[in-house]
Structure 1
Amino acid sequence: MVRFIKSSFLLFLTVVGLLGSLLSCSQYSTKPVSRGYHNLTAHYNAYVIARDEVEQAEMQLFKTRQENYGQVLPILLPVDSTKSQAVKQLLDDAIKKASLIPERHQNSKWLDNAYILIGRARLLKQDLPNAIEVFKYVNTKGTSDDDKHMALVGLMRAYVEANDYANAQNVGEYLRAQPLSKTNTRDYYLVNAYLNERQGKYAVAAAILEATFPVLPKSEATARLHLIAGQLFDVSGQPAKAVAQYKLVAKSRPSYDQLFYANLYAIQSKGLSTDIREAATSERTFETMLADRKNADLRDKIYATMAVLEVRKGNIDKGIDYYRKAVQASPSSGQVPYTYQEIGRLFDQKKGDYAQAKAYYDSALAQLPRQSADYAALLTRRNTLDEFVQYKNTIYTEDSLLRLAKLSPTELNKVIDDAIKRREEADKAQVALAQQIADRVSGGVNNIPGATNSELAPDQRWVLYNPVALSQGRQEFSTRWGNRPLEDDWRRSTKQASEAVAGVGSPLNGQTSANSINPNAPLTPQDAVNGTPVIGGPVSANQAQRDVMRARIPFTADGQLQANQRVETALYKLGKLYKFQFNQPVDAISTFEQLLNRYPSTIQKPEVYYLLYLSNEQLGKASPWKDRLQTEFPNTSYARLTGKTATQSSDSEAQALAVYTQIYDLYKENNLTEALARADKALGDYAGTKINDKLALLRVLLVGKLQTPDAYRQALNEFVRDFPASPLLFRAREMLAAASQKK
């Protein structure tokens, strides 16, 4: 009994002692017992839970990502507040759990790690300012070098996501000199590669990725990085290294899509090979891929790859056919605008068929996301081609109407009647085709018991529910009719000629080449017609249409004068498009010469002489235009630009300076399109002034903002050529060197 009492008393003292020790475990105490208690509690009650939730959120974002394999993939998934909504609850709870450590366990060794988790969670939520502050705090107050380095890697990533590349580069330079752990080295390399990729330094990004692979495990994420490394090597002109990376995808536990695209990209990288056996192997590979049922939703990608190879071999028409098949085989509209963009680019840059290029660019812009990197440049190019088609249509239509005015009444009636008949037949054919499509679609739905439009294949659905079919229809409409406003009676022949020239004798209808102007071409019945007559109407209806068509024909001297003025203006502007926008001096020369032959008294003659001189000089050909300009118009600014000195009036100089200031203000306000239009006009209006070189360089900057890199480099080359004595020449050459290096 006594022994039992003594044992109970000792046990009581032990419990009291332990409770006293625990109660004295303040989070600010440095005693071993206190630190041990808070380390244990902070680790298992907060840190582990928060870490697992952040990793779970990252894994979920990775699994639900949507890759655009038509573009170079980002090395790290860009943070997106919209996509992070799906994991918001996980991230919020992780922040809550991690925040318990600085609140209750200040003396814990997990304090810095908790702050880093909070920074990671805020980064994934795209709360970049707070994420940056947290990472900075750890770097300043942290006690472990490894934790500080980890925070700096997170800080670098946050700066990249905020597009603050200068600060990201500074953090990277500091980390490069630090002794990083294996994990921090891996993460630093990935963020650094991502930074270089975002800056367009693809070769550097690929080299950094290549150095990272030895420390990466085999996984789907690693397979993705091998695929990206191959893409980066491809765009930086290193196809052999690209193929090596594509082959490594198969060895890294890839997903089916990753393996599929790795094989396609590898074939593309070998596409320039002249080995016949290799080409035959590629063709058999494509046939196998197309026949594989697993690739049913990927057939458009296969056709697009076949198109790329044909274009590289110089088979432009065959490449365009494959791209069209890619559009038809596309299971969704996501890739369709990019395919239309490629077709338009081929018509634009390879075939010089600007009317067709414009039609495909229209279709691409109708579906291309406005935030796309290509949208602004494509829109600018489309607008330029709009001008081209407008001028071509004006020339062709006005010439057709002028030729009609010279016909006898009998000949004119026959032409109009033939045109009405042809239009009726064409409209009947269109109606019949539309009815066939409607019947086929309706029959397809009715023949599938219980089937709805949403359950059918894309080619079986009603056309208005099929985005690919809609896009194709839009492209075909634009090809035939041009741009038309959404309004009633858009095809009526009573509409103004200025609104309807795209439907008459225009390049968009395939009735004339987009590269030639032939006013003496034989007259076709459709040259006289605009709009659509009443189909199958009585004789009085046809007579009404004849009257409407006759009303457009310039029988009077004043009407013919106005028609010729429109042709003269269109020729002048078309020649400038060829010279400055398309960089086609041969077409510019032929267009300007035609302008001078048809309208020898044109008020644009001094500028046309000067542009003819520049175009011939660009081709290295001798021409009389410089001498004619200095002889006939010795006091013009264009004569001064050819080397003959003259005194510029102070009024012109003052006006030029005022216009330059206005354009520069537009540039600062980011009103770039208007600024470029005014700069183009001012260069012609104030050529030869002292401020002309500044105005020209400002135009170069605007071209760089709005147009393609090739157009920017071309504009810089023209500045270097046209202003050899300018004090801005050194700056222009620096810009040209930087642009060429980036290319």
Structure 2
Amino acid sequence: MPRYFRNHLILLLTVFSSLTGGLLSCSQYSTKPISKGYHNLNAHFNAYVIARDQIEQAEEILFKTRQENYNHLLPILLPVDSTLIQPVKPQLDDAIKKASLIPERHQNSNWLDNAYNLIGRARLLKQDLPNAIEVFKYVNTKGTNEDDKHTALVGLMRAYVEGSDYTNALNVAEYLRTQPLNKFNTRDFYLTKAYLHERQGEYVTAVGILEATFPLLKKGEAKARLHLITGQLYDLISQPAKAVDHYRQVLSSRPTYDLSFYANLFAIQSNGLTGDQKRMAQSAETFESLLNDRKNADLKDKIYFTMGLLEARTGRIDQAIKYYTQSIREAGANTNQVPYTYLEIGKLYFEKKADYSKAKVYYDSALATLPQQSPEYTALLARKNTLDEFVLYKTTIRTDDSLLTLAQMDPAALDKFLDKTIDQREKEAKDQAALAQKISDQASNGGTSMVAGATNSNLQPSQRWVLYNPVALSQGRQEFSVKWGNRPLEDNWRRSNKEASEAVAAVNSPLTGGSPANSVNPNAVVQQSDASNPAASPPAPATGRKGQKDAILAQIPLTPDAKAKVNQRIENALYKLGKLYKFQLNQPADAIPTFEQLLTRYPNTLQKPEVYYLLHLSNEQLGKSSTWKDKLLAEYPNTSYARLTGRVAAQTTSSEAQAQKTYTTIYELYKANNTTEALAQAEAALSQFAGSQLEDKLALLRVILVGKVKNVEAYQQALTEFVRDYPASELLPRAKEMLTAADQVTAKRK
């Protein structure tokens, strides 16, 4: 019987059943054909279809209103987000109610499993993951249709991925891989599994699965987007030629304008990696065409950013920085690209030019505008903190060296220098006041349009009133922080007792020949002040020429005690700067002269053993021979640093049996109260058996012997070294207890 007539027969029978008062049984638990037909009809058209259409419409709305960040790898599936779901939440709630009618009223219908799958799908979109997982598990356990059970398992895998439960997601994927899936379940399974591997950073696997998915997809925006993502994945695994192929396929898949625009940009970037000279030569024409296209008026910052990226990849760093700077200037109301452009400029100064002071400025600007949830934020913050330290140490050395130079001048020459400095300050203050007046006059002349509510959006970014120009606002915040540091919004924020920038004293102080951070010098560097460094704080505002001169003189170390404090600051800064070069910046070539300068200027520094050791490591890292290891072993043979130089060799040559025997001998000497001999043997044994399993026991025994033979200060120092050198030792808690007890004894004596 044709379906059309069968459905109408069922409808007539249903109406007849209703009119006759239910003479025919229509219970939802009945297995009779007429009852099942009645419930199938109602479940399908009065519940399932309505719920399915509502969910599909909600998914379509979410897809059309998505906000893509093309600076990152796009997600293969749109991640569920409880915030973004709010506009369609009532629609999803209603879909759940409609689908719930089927298990409530139509238990014997063929749409029961489908209804549960719809409920799970809606809850997944609402980010109600626990309940979505339970629904999908229920269908897989109780379902009667294999295709519906497979649909539930795909949904279950997606829910696990969204919850970052990748182990369970992979378990489900392994099971589904062995099942005979229909076309639609195969498509969804491939996409979900590719999404799983993308989330885990397994890009090779993800792109392989995506390649197998395209034959199952229809042309359209969704397929074009997946081609773009596939191209991004190929770029990430260093296969730019394949990436270009997929970027081209975006254009033949009915993309939106944004997708086609970024596909063109990404293809140009990938061509730059392939080394295809012909295609690279065509890039200039493509850029010119894109810049002249009126549809790209609000996308010029992206174009200039790509131009800068290509220049950077070919090693033309200065030209890359020019294009990046132009990208920032072209940013309109949408400043999403700006933080990533600042970040790229900072990277060039950091990695290519090794200009850490300028890199810090651009990293500061990137952090000020980059969303904290961005993947780059944590790493960028760590690098920025490192550069803050770098600027602090460099500034301290430069400032204090200048102060020491001034302290050596004769009074007449110093007085003349100070007069010249004050004249320069006054001239710069007048220039800034004139510039401020000019800006104020221009703002007053344009006041009518501002009052009318115009935002100058029709002007170039550089011509807009500053409060309507987001790029200018960002730069203004940067310049303010350069000059004044991080100030709270409050009255009297310029008072002398407020903390100011550490770098102001060095970069902006006329004592070092610097100029104030203003429009003339926007790249002046800032660092938070160090309360222990009085030279790092700017002088208090003073009225009158004599007051200004006295304020400058107050910073100059004219007494022996003041000079000693300044030299101590320089010594500490050189030591910390050398370690920063060696470890955080990984620049041993810069660490070596810094440490050598420390030893030349301060030959009695307490850090000499460690500096010897770090000089040895830095030269070794560069493949150079040096005498620093020999000097360390000759001058400081019993230090932990001397032992560290032989640790690797000892690990391969020392005999545990011999180490145990030596330890027993030393311990017997200790029990016999022959502590002096025991200490001498312990120190020799530490060098001989460095790296053995008994090293920490030997080291702690030596500490105890130091306490018996030497004074309490030497004992404390030995304990401190043990805590530092053996952080994983089982004896560490005991050593810390001993150090606490020693500190208490010392405190009581004082």
Q: Do they fold alike, i.e. is TM over 0.5? A: yes
Cα-to-partner distance string for 1:602-626 (whole Å, 9 max, x where unaligned): 0000000000000011111111101
* Mapping for residues 640-659 of structure 1, pairs under 5 Å: 640-643=643-646, 646-647=685-686, 653=700
Find the counterpart in structure 2 of residue 589 from structure 1. Answer: 592
Q: Which amino acid aligns with 2:454?
A: T
- Mapped contact 2:301–2:331 kept (Cα < 8 A): yes
1:270 to 1:637, Cα distance in 2 relative to 1, 3 A: same
**CA RMSD of superposed structures (Å):** 3.2
Q: Which amino acid aligns with 1:136?
A: K
Find the counterpart in structure 2 of residue 103 from structure 1. Answer: 104
- Mapped contact 1:193–1:205 kept (Cα < 8 A): yes
Find the counterpart in structure 2 of residue 414 from structure 1. Answer: 416
Note if 1:564 corresponds to 2:567: yes
Shift of 1:203: 1.9
Q: Which amino acid aligns with 1:123?
A: L
Single out whichever of 418-427 and 171-180 deviates more from structure 2. Answer: 418-427
**What secondary structure is seen at the aligned counterpart in 1 of 2:20?**
helix
Note if 1:501 corresponds to 2:511: no
Cα distance in 1 for residues equivalent to 2:443 and 2:199: 46
1:603 to 1:212, Cα distance in 2 relative to 1, 3 A: same
Find the counterpart in structure 2 of residue 305 from structure 1. Answer: 306
Give structure 1 stretches of 5+ with no counterpart: 1-10, 516-526, 535-539, 657-681, 696-743
Pick 1 or 2: higher relative contact order, CA cutoff 8 A, min separation 6.
Answer: 1
**What secondary structure is seen at the aligned counterpart in 2 of 1:453?**
coil
Shift of 1:281: 1.6
Note if 1:628 corresponds to 2:595: no
Cα distance in 1 for residues equivalent to 2:89 and 2:116: 18
Shift of 1:435: 3.8
Cα distance in 2 for residues equivalent to 1:124 and 1:638: 58
Cα-to-partner distance string for 1:210-237 (whole Å, 9 max, x where unaligned): 1111110010111111111111111111
Give structure 2 stretches of 5+ with no counterpart: 1-11, 526-534, 648-683, 687-694, 704-718, 733-750
Cα-to-partner distance string for 1:661-697 (whole Å, 9 max, x where unaligned): xxxxxxxxxxxxxxxxxxxxx99875654848999xx
- Mapped contact 1:444–1:460 kept (Cα < 8 A): no
Find the counterpart in structure 2 of residue 77 from structure 1. Answer: 78
Cα distance in 1 for residues equivalent to 2:597 and 2:722: 23
Instruction: Say which one has the larger Rg.
Output: 2
- Mapped contact 2:17–2:23 kept (Cα < 8 A): no
- Mapped contact 1:61–1:84 kept (Cα < 8 A): yes
Shift of 1:474: 2.6
Find the counterpart in structure 1 of residue 283 from structure 2. Answer: 282
Find the counterpart in structure 2 of residue 381 from structure 1. Answer: 383
Find the counterpart in structure 1 of residue 399 from structure 2. Answer: 397
Shift of 1:428: 2.9
- Mapped contact 2:406–2:414 kept (Cα < 8 A): yes
Shift of 1:423: 2.3
Find the counterpart in structure 2 of residue 341 from structure 1. Answer: 343
Single out whichever of 166-175 and 601-610 deviates more from structure 2. Answer: 166-175
- Mapped contact 2:577–2:594 kept (Cα < 8 A): yes
- Mapped contact 1:355–1:508 kept (Cα < 8 A): no
Q: Which amino acid aligns with 2:644?
A: L
Cα distance in 1 for residues equivalent to 2:698 and 2:581: 32
TM-score by length of 1: 0.80
- Mapped contact 1:578–1:588 kept (Cα < 8 A): yes
- Mapped contact 1:264–1:302 kept (Cα < 8 A): yes
Give the paired residue count: 642
Shift of 1:544: 0.2
Find the counterpart in structure 2 of residue 140 from structure 1. Answer: 141
- Mapped contact 1:683–1:692 kept (Cα < 8 A): no
Single out whichever of 366-375 and 209-218 deviates more from structure 2. Answer: 366-375
Cα distance in 1 for residues equivalent to 2:78 and 2:105: 34
Q: Which amino acid aligns with 1:571?
A: L
1:462 to 1:496, Cα distance in 2 relative to 1, 3 A: closer
**What secondary structure is seen at the aligned counterpart in 1 of 2:297?**
helix
- Mapped contact 2:54–2:95 kept (Cα < 8 A): yes
Cα distance in 2 for residues equivalent to 1:528 and 1:107: 82
1:541 to 1:654, Cα distance in 2 relative to 1, 3 A: farther
Single out whichever of 85-94 and 317-326 deviates more from structure 2. Answer: 317-326
Q: Which amino acid aligns with 1:433?
A: L
Single out whichever of 429-438 and 600-609 deviates more from structure 2. Answer: 429-438
Note if 1:639 corresponds to 2:654: no
**What secondary structure is seen at the aligned counterpart in 2 of 1:452?**
coil
Shift of 1:183: 0.2
Cα-to-partner distance string for 1:233-260 (whole Å, 9 max, x where unaligned): 1111110110000000010110001000
Note if 1:473 corresponds to 2:476: yes
Cα-to-partner distance string for 1:420-470 (whole Å, 9 max, x where unaligned): 222222233333334444444554453689552375655454323432221
Cα distance in 2 for residues equivalent to 1:622 and 1:633: 20
Cα distance in 1 for residues equivalent to 2:47 and 2:326: 56
Cα-to-partner distance string for 1:394-444 (whole Å, 9 max, x where unaligned): 000000001001111221122222222222222333333344444445544
Cα-to-partner distance string for 1:74-116 (whole Å, 9 max, x where unaligned): 1111111111000011101100100000000000100000011
Q: Which amino acid aligns with 2:386?
A: T
Cα-to-partner distance string for 1:175-205 (whole Å, 9 max, x where unaligned): 1111100000000010111111111111221
- Mapped contact 1:493–1:548 kept (Cα < 8 A): no
Cα-to-partner distance string for 1:309-329 (whole Å, 9 max, x where unaligned): 000000112111211111111
Cα distance in 1 for residues equivalent to 2:494 and 2:278: 54
Structure 1 vs Structure 2: percent identity of aligned residues? 63
Note if 1:598 corresponds to 2:613: no
1:495 to 1:371, Cα distance in 2 relative to 1, 3 A: closer
Shift of 1:288: 1.4
Cα distance in 2 for residues equivalent to 1:220 and 1:33: 44
- Mapped contact 1:72–1:232 kept (Cα < 8 A): yes
Shift of 1:356: 1.1
**What secondary structure is seen at the aligned counterpart in 1 of 2:551?**
helix
1:351 to 1:361, Cα distance in 2 relative to 1, 3 A: same
